[in-house]
Structures are given as structure tokens and as C-alpha cells.
Amino acid sequence: MKATLKARGVALTVGAGEDQVDLGPVRVGSRVARGLLAVGVLLLLVISWYPFEFEVPATEVGGVQTLADGSLRFLDDEFASTLGPPSWLPVAIREEALAVSLRVRPTTADQGGPARMLALSAEPVEESEDVLEHNLVIGQSGTDLVLRVVRPGSDVQGRPEIVLADLLTPGTWHEIDLELAGDLRVSIDGEPQVVEPGIAGWAAAWDPDHRLSLGNTLSGTREWAGTIGRARVVAGDQQVDLLASDELDVPGVGRRLPPRLVDAASRVGTEPLLIGVLHTLLGVGLGVVVVLAWPARPFAHHLWVVPALAVVANLGKVVVATRHPSIATFLLQSGGGGLGALAAFAVVNRRRRENL
């Protein structure tokens, strides 16, 4: 059966089993709409699964491994830290004397931020607070050793930072010695590298409430991959082996899903706003062509199609090596699909009522 209705000089053709739907001045055949739907689904899968590097996900060993000699090996973004300010920090501030000695072996040069070997940082009350406020950072950026020390003339991050270029070789042990008193002195592998005189008064700028972390910053956003074989401090007349200290909480190791699958709730904020808009518009387009492809079906039948496609596209990312499922993307595509289907269905119904 075919019903052709006319209103204000505009033809609208609808009906179950019909080959075409005419909405306003544009005639869209049901078969054409189904072709557009196929193109839209293909586009959705390309956007979701590119560059098509498929792998079967497997659990990974992660955490902080304590080796037989007491060294700590950092395997991922897990880190060791004190639960509160270390007991030696007030002594160092009171005496204005601190020496730090590290023996480290980086796993890779592909580290930046800088990646934190050792940090004295603020509590992460907000997501980035401990990244922005430090007393001290000893870190790695590429093959460079990066030091941030709060001292006269610096900001709360310890900038200007001290960068010692091309001194860290992956797979090689390095000795790092830092001394803070009236001067700042740094030696690498027994060779003096930096002497910054006249920094008396640095302790007055240090926060006694900062916590110690090894292998990352306290919010887990500056992970360092490697092994720390020695970590000692001398604060005034107090000597502490950090790796053997009861104050240091070491999480241990375990198996877990790859980070790309753990972080399913990706952010859609200021920087990726355009991407979020594109996902929404893609959902709207799919919702519209679903209605045009089967105009006589109930709205409830149209409403579930785009969310189902979004589920398939997101679950497929599980086996794509460089992608991860995104709750935000699913919601944007599904929401857009619902809006598109609702708008198209409303237009079809309004035209039908006008021409009864």
C-alpha cells in the first residue's frame, strides 16, 4: 500500500515496505537511506578502530617489585611513598642541611615530564597539585637528569630547573648525589656537575608537610620506569635508608589489564571538544538515516540501533592495540543518535498528520 500526502505543495511519501520517503523538497529513498546507513556504520568503525592494529589483550605484571637485594623495580605507574611527611624532613628544614644519594638504572629513555625518580611533593588534594608544588624533584627526561629544587629565586615548582644533558643511559647504573646546605652541589657517577652557590635560606621556602614518593609523583601522572638500588638521605645528623624505612609504603606486584583498558572513561574536555562534537554529529546522522531507512517502524525500534552500534564500536577497541573503550564516546554517539532519530521521526509524523 502506498500513501502520497501533500501539504503546502510539498510531497511526503511514507509507508511500510515502500522504497522511498519524501521529506520536504528532498526525496530520500529508503534504499538510499540504507546505503547511507552502511556508509555511516563503516565510518564509525574506521574512526573507532583505526589504525587496525589488532591484538588479543592479556594481563600484565605491574606494580613495584622488591628484588632480593632490596632494590625497587618500577614496572608501571605504581609507586612507593610515605603516608605522611617523612620524619627526616623537619630535621633537614630545621638544620638547613640535606644530602640525597641515589643509585638508579633507567629502563628506557622514553620518559618525560620529567618522570619522577624521587619527589617531595604536596598532597594531591586536586589532580595536579602535587605536580605543581614540590620541595624537591629528581627526575628523568629522555637521557637528561632534571632537578627541581625550591630555593631563593625559584618558584614553588623549583624552577628554573637544572638540566644535566645526556647523562642517563638506559640499562646502566648511575650514582646521583645531591647536597643542599649553603650551596647546591650535584655529582653524577662521582663527577661534579653543578655547583650553585649562595642558596642559604632555601629551607625557609620548603613545606614540612610534603610527602616522599619514589618512581612517580603522588597523583600517579609522572611514572618512571627503572630500578632504584639505593636511596639514602642525610638530614642534619640523621641518616636514613629510604628503601629499608618503615615509613615507605611499597605496593608490591600483581597482574592487571593493560592501562588502555583500565582507563575506559576518557575525558572530553577543552582540548578534545571538537572530537566530542564530531562523535555527537556522527550519532545524529546515524539516527536520522535509521528512521529514513525504515520510516514506518515504531520509534522504539529506531532508538536502540545507534547505541547498539556504539557498543559494538567500543567493545571492538578491546582488541585494537592502540585504542581503548570510552564511556564518554559511547554516551556522545548514543545521545546524538537519539536526538537524530527523534528529530527525523518527529518530522515524518508531523508531515503525516498534516496531510491526513
> 126-139 burial, b if ≥16 CB within 10 A, otherwise e?
eeeebbebbbbbbb
Quote the crossing angle between the two packed helices 327-354 and 273-293, to the nearest 10°: 40
Identify whether the C-beta of residue 13 lies closer than 8 Å to the C-beta of residue 353. Answer: no
The per-residue pLDDT for 290 is: 92
Q: What angle do CA 330, 334, 339 make, to 5 degrees?
A: 150
Q: Which three cell numbers stand for residue 183?
A: 650551596
Parallel, antiparallel, or unpaired for β 80-82 and 248-249?
A: antiparallel
Question: What radius of gyration do the chain's Cα atoms show?
Answer: 30
Which span out of 28-32, 127-131, 151-155 was modeled with the highest average pLDDT?
A: 151-155
Q: What is the pLDDT of residues 267-284, one digit of tens each?
A: 444 456 788 888 999 999
Closest of 217, 206, 214, 187 to residue 113, by C-alpha: 217
Domains and CATH numbers, the chain: 3-55+262-354 (no CATH), 60-256 (2.60.120.200)
Q: What is the pLDDT of residues 132-189, one digit of tens each?
A: 789 999 999 999 999 999 999 899 888 899 999 999 999 999 999 999 999 999 999 9
CA distances from 91 to 82, 88, 237, 272 (A): 16, 5, 9, 46
